[in-house]
Amino acid sequence: MSRIGIGHDTHRLAPGGPLRLGGVTIPFEQHLEGHSDADVLLHAVTDALLGAAALEDIGELFPNTDPANRGLDSARMLAVALAKVTAAGYRILNIDSVVFAEQPKLSPHKAAIRQRLAELLQIDIAQVGLKAKTGERVGPVGRQEAIMAQTVVLLTSA
């Protein structure tokens, strides 16, 4: 049996870098704000995995009302989600993500982000798709107020 899931996340940009995205540190004069480390891409991947397996979402597993989640590394959240998905009897066939950011330009960092995602998900880099889009100077992304990410994941029975 195959199952598909989608994940989405948005976080505000704030002064002071660096930027953490997809588990990679990117030199930039802004960072993402959030209760955890605010890695929008890892949050979107986490929710896509959990959704594909019809499990709870990231907010239920790691509520922002819990002080223990303050500053939490999003890679830890992803590891918990992956363990739950694996325990439910699924494995990842592939993931495909889009990051929406006016700045910084992500093309120079895409290979490193794909590699990190593959490592975190324990899959081959060929199973990881990643695209970067700007906001065309429209909306919160285009005005450089926020970065958004969307991910689709395809699971199959293990």
Per-residue model confidence as pLDDT tens digits over 62-115: 998 999 889 899 999 999 999 999 999 999 999 999 999 999 999 999 999 999
Query: 74, 24, 19: which is closest to 49 by C-alpha?
Result: 74
Query: Does residue 12 surpass a pLDDT of 90?
Result: yes
Q: Which is it for the CA torsion 41, 46, 47, 53, positive or negative? A: positive
Q: E strand or H helix at 13, and its extent?
A: strand 2-15
Q: What is the CATH number of the domain that holds 65?
A: 3.30.1330.50
Domain encompassing residue 27: 2-157
pLDDT at 158: 81
How many domains does the chain contain in total? 1
Per-residue model confidence as pLDDT tens digits over 41-62: 999 999 999 999 999 999 999 9
What is the model's pTM?
0.96
